Structure 1
Amino acid sequence: MGDHVGTKLDHENHLLLDQPLLRLPFELLRKNFRSAHFEVEKDGTFVKNLLKETASANYSQTPQEDVLKNLDTMIARMRGVKRKLTAFAEEEDRLYHHEEARVKHLAELYSMYSVDDVKYESWSRTRLDRLLVDYLLRHGYNDSARALAEERGIELLVDVDTFEQMSRIRKSLLNGSVTEALAWCAAGDTKKELRKMDSNLEFMLRYQQYIEIVRSKARTKPNEALAHAKKYLFPYRETYPHEFRQACGLLAIPPGDARSVYSELYSQARWEMLADLFTSTHNTLLSLPPVPLLHVALSLGLSALKTPACHSIHPASTAGAPSHSTSMLLAASVCPICSTELNELARNVPYANHSKSHVEPDLLMLPNGRAYGKARLEEYARKAGLLDGQVKDLRTGEIFSMDRLKKVYIS
């Protein structure tokens, strides 16, 4: 009979990895609502002011054509608001459908009480497909991600559109353009949210825009660079004093001077830095984890299986050639961590926190830090034909005298 406790599903802990599945549509709904509110406030204020100005005008002095023009302007503005609100309402309905499908998907897990349930295999396969789509989207393989989502029928469980927009803006930055990234910063009330986060993304984009103006047009149109600095950089002179001082001195330094302290500002590597900054800001704004969820799941699985012995017996972690016994242990091992494919990947993940352990009685610790039961050490020494008072490490083959061993007590 199987271990019932070991196969029982802990639903709350099982869904810790799936928080972004519900969180992202919620954040997008909030962003959509804030953007709609921003448009209503902006256009509403414009219409109110124009209406007040038109109503208080002296009709004996104001031409009738001007009054009709103002009324037409207000009508056109309100029609524009209606079109925008229609688009926001459609986006809201789309996000609600995504949220509903995801809640239903996660609720299915609560109908299962064991990993042996036949329905759990199908559910976990869908979850793996989601993680694979997330991984592909974060690495820019948008077409492959969309094709996989369509083939598996999980379009409502993944966020292809959101990551495609991020990928498009990131690609434009790597191609040397800040236009799309600046438009993203200015969309709706994103600027206000970035200010709350103390994000320097918009400033760094404007700073790079200034660098490109200086690089290409400073010799013929220096006033353009000065006007840009006055409008976009000067207000941040107290917040970013170092960058502001560099901006002031940049006009006097030609781009071709590689020995200059300003040469890093003209480096193409800055575009990659801006792309990474945009990606991290985008993920923070939408409460997305900084790494693919597939990496998180894989790290958790590796950590749950990892023990100190997994790397201590690996040839790459020992000085010199491995012993014959070590090679045999590696060949016979079925531990995933000890496998060639996963051993190096698991090297930096923490060890599992096991609440239960099974140890041999009468543990003795060797000088190299490994511990074995006294009976097993004596039996192995006898089979190896060692002298009296000597023991041999079962893994490395090192030989030690009994007086160098220490008694181990489990607390």
Structure 2
Amino acid sequence: MGDYESSKLDHENHLLLDQPLLQLPVELLRKNLRSARFEVEKDGSFVKETLKKTVTDNVGGRISQQDALKTLDSMIARMRGVKRKLTAFSEEENRLHRHEEVRVKHLAELYGMHTVDDVKYEGWSRTRLDRLLTDYLLRQGYVDSAKALAKERGIELLVDIDTFEQMNRIRRCLLNGSVQEALAWCTAGDTKKELRKMDSNLEFMLRYQQYIEIVRNRSQTKPDEALAHARKHLFPYRDMYKTEVMHACGLLGILPEYVSRVEAYKELYAPARWQMLADLFTTTHHSLLSLPPIPLLHIALSSGLSALKTPACHSIHPNSAAAPSHHTSLSLATSVCPICSTELNELARNVPHALHSKSHVEPDLLLLPNGRAYGKARLEEYAKKANLGDGQIKDLRTGQLYRVDELKKVYIT
């Protein structure tokens, strides 16, 4: 009964890590619907106003019949353009529905398993690991590797390659000194309205960087271009971003070669601003689509390390994190605590300890003179396999020999 309870699957908690798997397609569907509605309302309003004006002018004799027909033709052409856009939105919606259907089916498979010992669980968990690895590769910008892994594992519909590919493309443009692509993303459809609801400063900071580049290259631009840009994109936000607007005004009075002498303006020309903008865009992108700010692989790895970590894993004992010595057999090396291994010890140093409500200590513990404790049955079994003499035992990790009368009984209270 105890073994069953320890291996029993808690489906609800098990799927906490998979919320973005279903949530992202829903957010993309909502965004797709808002964009379609935006196009319909924008072009619909234009056609209604144009038609109303054409009828009025035609009745009043202000335009000829030929001009009226040209206006009608232009309205028809515009509505055909709306139809093409709506067709694209419809295709995108169907694609997202396919993704959502496959993902729901994938997660529903887990409810057919009741323990981690189920033969189906290994395959399901392997698919999940492949998803986490693909998500990590996409977030780190290794899009080609992520595509290859997804294709090889057959999980193209379980990962969001297109979304992260677009994000990485815009991020690369920012790192290369171009804000045009990021601004196009901010103003596409009703994204601008959604960013305003989030109180995001991304668009302002992009416009601010545009202004900085205009002033930096003032010898190559028209004299009034910087002022026109500031009046249109910066001054309307002077109450919200007072410091930035004041710096923008002062920047006009300083030649680029003298900016490095003034600390307040020196940072505006620093290359690090492009990295800041790229990080700001990534954070805003994830917030808008309800994506976790860090890779899901990091969350899963941190949870796993925390579940295994105990205070002894990073104790001051000189051998607490030591690797198995050459005296230790391969079979015993596999039983060493993963957190104490050289591969994971430093990685797990800053994660919290697990809260264990039940103890899994071996029965009949015996304390060795070097401070290590092992179960009596395991020590006797190892001594027998090692052909030790009567009354002798060996430390399972260090290989040190001790007499049985040197051991002390351990009582857990």
Q: Deviations over 1:367-400 (max 9, x none)?
A: xxx9x9xxxxxxxxxxxxxxxxxxxxxxxxxxxx
Stretches of 4+ aligned residues off by more than 6 angstroms: 328-333
Judged with a 3 Å threshold, the aligned counterparts in structure 2 of structure 1 residues 310 and 326 are, in CA distance, closer, same or farther, namely closer
Distance 1:302 1:42 in 2: 52
What one-letter code is carried by the residue in structure 1 that aligns with 2:305? Answer: L
Which residue in 2 is equivalent to 1:235?
236
Distance 1:349 1:221 in 2: 55
Judged with a 3 Å threshold, the aligned counterparts in structure 2 of structure 1 residues 60 and 104 are, in CA distance, closer, same or farther, namely same
Distance 2:339 2:33 in 1: 47
The answer to whether the 8 A contact 2:43-2:82 is kept is yes
The answer to whether the 8 A contact 1:207-1:233 is kept is yes
Secondary structure of the structure 2 residue equivalent to 1:22: helix
The answer to whether the 8 A contact 1:137-1:164 is kept is yes
Which residue in 1 is equivalent to 2:343?
341
Q: How many residues align?
A: 360
Which residue in 2 is equivalent to 1:70?
71
The answer to whether the 8 A contact 2:322-2:340 is kept is no
Secondary structure of the structure 1 residue equivalent to 2:303: helix
Per-residue deviation at 1:281?
0.1
Secondary structure of the structure 2 residue equivalent to 1:56: helix
Distance 1:7 1:264 in 2: 56
What one-letter code is carried by the residue in structure 1 that aligns with 2:165? Answer: E
Which residue in 2 is equivalent to 1:13?
13
The answer to whether the 8 A contact 1:134-1:158 is kept is yes
Judged with a 3 Å threshold, the aligned counterparts in structure 2 of structure 1 residues 191 and 220 are, in CA distance, closer, same or farther, namely closer
Judged with a 3 Å threshold, the aligned counterparts in structure 2 of structure 1 residues 52 and 304 are, in CA distance, closer, same or farther, namely same
Is 1:155–2:177 an aligned residue pair? no
Which residue in 2 is equivalent to 1:107?
108
Which residue in 2 is equivalent to 1:288?
291
Measured on the aligned residues, the alpha-carbon RMSD in Å equals: 2.5
Per-residue deviation at 1:117?
0.6
* TM-score, structure 2 normalization: 0.83
Judged with a 3 Å threshold, the aligned counterparts in structure 2 of structure 1 residues 239 and 218 are, in CA distance, closer, same or farther, namely farther
Is 1:173–2:174 an aligned residue pair? yes
Distance 2:276 2:346 in 1: 28
Q: Counterparts in 2 of 1:9-408, with a 5 A limit? A: 9-57=9-57, 58-217=59-218, 221-257=222-258, 258-261=260-263, 262-313=265-316, 322=318, 334-357=336-359
Distance 2:233 2:207 in 1: 7
Secondary structure of the structure 2 residue equivalent to 1:303: helix
Per-residue deviation at 1:222?
2.4
The answer to whether the 8 A contact 1:218-1:251 is kept is no
Judged with a 3 Å threshold, the aligned counterparts in structure 2 of structure 1 residues 106 and 45 are, in CA distance, closer, same or farther, namely same
Distance 2:51 2:44 in 1: 10
The answer to whether the 8 A contact 1:214-1:222 is kept is no
Secondary structure of the structure 1 residue equivalent to 2:354: coil
Secondary structure of the structure 1 residue equivalent to 2:339: coil
Judged with a 3 Å threshold, the aligned counterparts in structure 2 of structure 1 residues 328 and 59 are, in CA distance, closer, same or farther, namely closer
The answer to whether the 8 A contact 2:314-2:321 is kept is no
Judged with a 3 Å threshold, the aligned counterparts in structure 2 of structure 1 residues 136 and 327 are, in CA distance, closer, same or farther, namely closer
Distance 1:327 1:22 in 2: 43
The answer to whether the 8 A contact 2:9-2:114 is kept is yes
Judged with a 3 Å threshold, the aligned counterparts in structure 2 of structure 1 residues 296 and 63 are, in CA distance, closer, same or farther, namely same
Judged with a 3 Å threshold, the aligned counterparts in structure 2 of structure 1 residues 115 and 327 are, in CA distance, closer, same or farther, namely closer
Judged with a 3 Å threshold, the aligned counterparts in structure 2 of structure 1 residues 220 and 61 are, in CA distance, closer, same or farther, namely closer
Distance 1:101 1:149 in 2: 14
Distance 1:29 1:4 in 2: 41
Identity %: 75
What one-letter code is carried by the residue in structure 2 that aligns with 1:338? Answer: C
The answer to whether the 8 A contact 1:253-1:260 is kept is no
Q: Deviations over 1:312-359 (max 9, x none)?
A: 15xxxx7xxx37x98588876711111111111111111111122468
Q: Deviations over 1:29-69 (max 9, x none)?
A: 00000000000000000000001111112353311222112
Distance 1:220 1:329 in 2: 68
Per-residue deviation at 1:250?
0.3
Judged with a 3 Å threshold, the aligned counterparts in structure 2 of structure 1 residues 326 and 297 are, in CA distance, closer, same or farther, namely closer
The answer to whether the 8 A contact 2:138-2:161 is kept is yes
Secondary structure of the structure 2 residue equivalent to 1:341: coil
Distance 2:322 2:150 in 1: 43
Distance 1:199 1:6 in 2: 46
Q: Deviations over 1:149-189 (max 9, x none)?
A: 01111000000000000000000000000000000001110
Distance 2:72 2:321 in 1: 88
The answer to whether the 8 A contact 1:218-1:225 is kept is no
Distance 1:219 1:252 in 2: 17
What one-letter code is carried by the residue in structure 1 that aligns with 2:292? Answer: P
Secondary structure of the structure 2 residue equivalent to 1:256: helix
Distance 2:322 2:339 in 1: 15
- Structure 1: give runs of 5+ residues left out of the alignment: 361-369, 373-408
What one-letter code is carried by the residue in structure 2 that aligns with 1:32? Answer: N
